Amino acid sequence: MFLDGYGSLMLGGTWTTIKLGLLSMAVALIIGLIGASAKLSRSRPLRAIATAYTTLIRSVPDLVLMLLLFYSLQILLNRLTDWMSVEQIDIDPFAAGIATLSFIYGAYFTETFRAAFLAVPRGQMEAAVAHGMGAWLAFRRILFPQMMRFALPGIANNWQVLIKATALVSIIGLNDLLQATQDAGKASMQFFYFSVICAFIYLAITTISNGALILMERRYSIGFRRG
């Protein structure tokens, strides 16, 4: 039998982990772009908020932040439903995982994108404006492609850390790869065996995704010599 009969359990947990990682990554990228724009804006309040956000996230452990965000939101929701005299609403662990991971790693992507924006020569945008391009068109055609060349190594590194951090979501009740590993290990009394399988699955996910990111890096590096 495939994995002693626990193959479907492990595959289901793997698929949940992949979905959680990809969706969290997508939202974190958006937060990172917004955060980087705020940090580089001329507005002092926006810069202050973005700086406070990145400082807080990078100073507190991910596990502590995840517990604080999940339980604080659940407590707030419980009080709201009690005040409205309606049935209690439980936060879905998958949605909570996406929200917490994207909020946490959005701070890291903020710094990645900020550094990448600063690496693009200011004259590029000035030339775009001189040619009559609007802000969005200049960003899409001039700034974003060049910025991605500098940002992709940081994105790849953040992705590796994020996909490993998905394992933390099991503590709030999500049946991800780690939870499936624990369930299979307890039921079969083969903790070491399934832990090794789990490690190899994480290694396969990061290896395949890093290959895709390397291809993207080559795509955005066309026309540039490697140092």
H helix runs in 120-190, sequence order: 122-130, 135-138, 144-165, 177-188
Nearest in space to 224 (alpha carbons), one of 111, 148, 157:
148
Instruction: Provide the whole-model pTM.
Output: 0.84
Confidence of residue 224 (pLDDT cuts 50, 70, 90): low
pLDDT for res 60: 85
The region that residue 71 occupies, defined by phi over 0 for left and psi between -120 and 50 for alpha, beta otherwise, is alpha
Q: At 223, is the secondary structure helix, strand, or coil?
A: coil
Both tokens assigned to 211 = 């290959």
Q: Which of 7-21, 142-156, 170-184, 209-223 has the highest average model confidence (pLDDT)?
A: 7-21
**Residues 90-117: pLDDT tens digits?**
788 888 889 889 999 999 999 999 999 8
Instruction: Please name each of the domains of the chain with its CATH number.
Output: 15-173 (1.10.3720.10)
Confidence of residue 221 (pLDDT cuts 50, 70, 90): low
**Residues 15-66: pLDDT tens digits?**
999 999 999 999 999 999 999 999 988 889 999 999 999 998 888 888 888 8
Residue 135 pLDDT more than 80? no
Residue 23 CB partners (closer than 8 Å, separation 6+): 98, 102
Write the DSSP symbol of residue 85. T
**Residues 173-204: pLDDT tens digits?**
788 898 999 898 888 888 898 899 999 999 99
pLDDT for res 22: 93
pLDDT for res 35: 94
pLDDT for res 46: 92
